[in-house]
Structure 1
Amino acid sequence: MSASYTPHNQKIVDQFTRWAKPFAELPIHAESDSLREVIAACAATEGMTVLDVACGPGIVACALAQRGARVTAIDLTPAMIEQAKSRSATNGVAVTFQVGDARNLPFQTGIFDRVVTRYSFHHMEDPGEVLAEMIRVCRPGGRLIVVDATPAAEAQAGYDQAEKLRDPSHTSALTLSQLLSLGHEAGLSHVLTTQYRLESRLEDQVAPEDWSALKTMFLEDIASEQDRLGMGAWQAEDGIRFHFPISIVVWTKPEN
């Protein structure tokens, strides 16, 4: 293993090796309206160089490549990179994929016009460290885009509790205020913030061994009518449903 495989990184690799194929095939991850918002936020035109950090199964990377961007994509989990390569081949688009650590991006300083990451910061022990690397490889005047779950402050603890049970590689989902503060502290210029909610069925997101405990947690939250988990869960005909609260935050890197 590489020296970058810390105990937490190994949790990520273990989780997403196990879930690589079902994760890649779950429709929620390629849901058209939300993906369209992410691509619009990137504002990548033909020929621009784009880096997709923690690219997972390559959904964002391939969508950007379809629009003519020259895309490089990196992920810690080899099984995810294999899923991403398969998607790229199926879609007939050219993307350069490689395995690597978001905390130490193997790229020269200032070479990308756009640097994007989607649904990754809640896996990072130090998201500020990852953002600093994204800033380093972005050209002056370039655009940085972070897309992630941002629970309300009063629901953050409950949200994290549920997510850690569902996914042991989860660390903490930042609130929108905390995410914006990371960019401010790094000296970035805020461009825009947009938000959307992704609806999901709980059973589609849970390993069988975790189902009972999560079902109990969600049913208690529904019964309380207080939304302590911050997901607006409800009982539907086909099971428990909920929303992931997602924010897209866009910054630019200072020219000097």
Structure 2
Amino acid sequence: MPNFAFKKLGDIPFLASLSQLQIAEITTSLSAISLQSSAVLLAGNSLDHTVFIVIEGVLCFHSADGRRSAPLECVGSIICRANIPAEVSVSMPLGGSALIFSGDMDKDTGFLDLMRRFAPRIPNLPFVFSDEDPPDLILLNRLLGTKQFDHGIDLGCGGGRLSQALLGRVGRMTMFDRNPVVLSEAKSTLKFAGNGKNIQLVSGDFHSLPFQKGSFDLVASRLAVHEAYSPRFILEQAFQVLQSNGVLAIVDVIPPSGVESVELFEKIEKTLDARFGGAETLPSWRDLMESVGFSDIEINCTRIRRTLEDRPGCAASRDQCLEVFSKASSIALKELAVVGLSENRNTVDVSWIDTRIVIIAKKSLYE
């Protein structure tokens, strides 16, 4: 075994608490291996009991739906199926070295049991979003063109999906949400993705923004304004904290055109989120923007297929949503392009089409 392998053992937190005799016993059951680029340590859903201690290189985690983490510094990390979710794969994109310990070798030392007992579990591993953003964020970035901003704010940031999409064009980002736990998780996700720098977390109610007038040159919000008791008031708040010549970027849902489909749309939204206060129509959005004082208003729409898994909390509302769909008329189901319902309308693979509005506007230089 190469000497550098032994030098790293004492750097592993729980191994540092063991005696030299115990470590000596453990090392007799370890092998050192060199790993080529893109080597897979653990394959998703495998029953492999091999344990790796990384001594050189970085890791990437891969989810079953194609998402991946940014490369992570990981010297001293313990990688085994006991502390990695079953569906997750682990690779070393640049290659490296690791100590390898097979469960078959665990006869005398009990090392594998120690690993499984003390290795940190990762129950909710945060993944980078897929390389291709959803249609609404693709459209938003296209409308923003080459614009760059000094300080942006993401109002009602939730899991941070909008912030993630905008970080490449914003020097500093303030993530604002009423839920401090959600804020912390969102920042962890961005940090995990290699985008945790220059982010400020602020918890509060977006009906009363705690910022001075003209604090930001970009105010953005995605799928949050419809939760407000007064969308106009939220736009007025945004107008106040936006600098002159600053940009407002809004993404939100709009209702379908048919009477029956509007009823189904509202029932589903309220089932998924009790805070849903109703969605503005396309014409009312323009009226609102103009009445608040925004100019150079550019409004576009796109469509996105939604499932009961695409937002936090959706799965918890699965049965209620399926009940709503089961009682909907055939006309409403057709207008929302609902698919995946079986003849008895009880399948969990249901999906439907949302129409989303993407708005870019400016605060006049002379305001």
- Length-normalised TM-score, structure 2: 0.56
**2:323 matched residue in structure 1:** 216
1:159-202 alpha-carbon deviations (Å, 9 max, x no partner): 21221122212111221222222112112114311211221223
C-alpha contact 1:61 1:73 (8 A) present in aligned 2: yes
How far apart are the structure 2 equivalents of 1:199 and 1:212?
19
Distance 2:185 2:327 in 1: 36
1:239 equivalent to 2:349? Answer yes
Letter of the aligned partner of 2:254 in structure 1?
T
Which residue in 2 is equivalent to 1:38?
140
What does 1:95-110 correspond to in 2, within 5 Å? Answer: 95-110=199-214
List per-residue Cα deviations over 1:103-145 (Å, max 9, x = no partner): 1111110121111100001211111111111010111121111
Structure (1/2) with the larger helix percentage = 1
Q: 2:254 matched to 1:150?
A: yes
Letter in 2 for 1:57: G
Residue 32 (structure 1) shift: 4.3
Q: Given residue 339 of structure 2, which amino acid in structure 1 is its aligned partner?
A: W
> Which residue of 180, 186, 189 maps to 1:84?
186
Contact 2:149 2:169 in 1 (8 A): no
CA 1:204–1:148 in 2, change beyond 3 Å: closer, same or farther? closer
Amino acid at match of 1:75: D
* CA distance, structure 1, for counterparts of residue 271 and residue 161 of structure 2: 25
Contact 1:180 1:249 in 2 (8 A): no
User: 1 CA distance for matches of 2:169 and 2:219?
Assistant: 16
Q: Distance in 1 between matches of 2:204 and 2:332?
A: 37
Q: Aligned partners of 1:219 and 1:103: how far apart in 2?
A: 36
- Determine if contact 1:232/1:243 at 8 Å carries over to the other structure: yes
User: Structure 1's 141 and 163: CA in aligned 2 closer, same or farther, altered over 3 A?
Assistant: same
Within 2, Cα distance between the matches of 1:25 and 1:229?
34
Q: What SS does the corresponding residue of 1:174 show, helix, strand or coil?
A: coil
C-alpha distance in structure 2 between counterparts of 1:189 and 1:165, whole Å: 35
Q: Percent of aligned positions with the same letter in both sequences?
A: 23
Query: Is 1:167 aligned to residue 273 of structure 2?
Result: yes
Distance of 1:229 and 1:26 partners within structure 2: 34
Greater than 6 Å deviation, 4+ residue runs = 24-28
The 2-side partners of 1:194 and 1:70 are apart by 27
| Equivalent position SS for 1:69 | strand
Pairs within 5 Å for 1:187-226:
187-202=293-308, 206-208=314-316, 210-221=317-328, 224-226=329-331
Q: Where does the alignment leave 5 or more consecutive residues of structure 1 unmatched?
A: 1-20
Structure 2: which 5+ residue stretches go unaligned?
1-122, 343-347
Alpha carbon RMSD of aligned pairs, Å?
2.9
CA contact (8 A) 2:159 2:186 kept: yes
Q: Given that residues 44 and 64 in structure 1 are in contact (C-alpha distance below 8 angstroms), is that contact kept between their aligned partners in structure 2?
A: no
Superposition deviation, residue 49 in structure 1: 1.8
**SS of equivalent to 1:48:** strand
Query: What TM-score, normalized to structure 1?
Result: 0.78
CA drift of 1:236 comes to 6.1
Contact 2:128 2:193 in 1 (8 A): no
Aligned to 2:169: 67
Amino acid at match of 2:354: F
Task: Assess, with a 3 A threshold, how the Cα gap between structure 1 residues 70 and 203 changes in structure 2: closer, same or farther.
Answer: closer
Q: Which moved more, 1:180-189 or 1:133-142?
A: 180-189
